[in-house]
Amino acid sequence: MPGTPALTEATYYILLSLYSPRHGYGIMQQTEELSGGRVRLAAGTLYGALNTLCDKGWIALKGADEDSRRKEYMLTEKGKEILVDEVKRLKELARNGERILGEE
């Protein structure tokens, strides 16, 4: 989406981990695994980010039971668009870096 700011690494991996619905602990595990251990989310950080991403409409609670202790989150269509755009942006960054550094 034009005008969407670059995602933080944590946000990128949270969205990526939600390509399949997951609960909070699963998101923390998947994010750490996908990032090769670079991104380790504490519970407070994760749930703050999840609330923000829900407010933006990029993710949503799966199902209607918002009072359940074990909430599952899922990527929305808008979230998928944001993620696809970010992957395109990152590929462009890599291509430009490789071109300038002569590594193509």
**16-74 pLDDT per residue, tens:** 999 999 999 999 999 999 999 999 999 999 999 999 999 999 999 987 565 666 789 99
User: What values do phi and psi take at 61, rounded to 5?
Assistant: -70, 140
| DSSP structure class, residue 40 | -
| Sheet-wide strand order for 22-23 | 22-23, 72-75, 59-61
For 14, other C-beta atoms within 10 Å of its C-beta total 29
- Between CA 31 and CA 17, with CA 75 as vertex, the angle to 5 degrees is 15
Q: Confirm whether pTM is higher than 0.95.
A: no
Domains and CATH numbers, the chain: 9-101 (1.10.10.10)
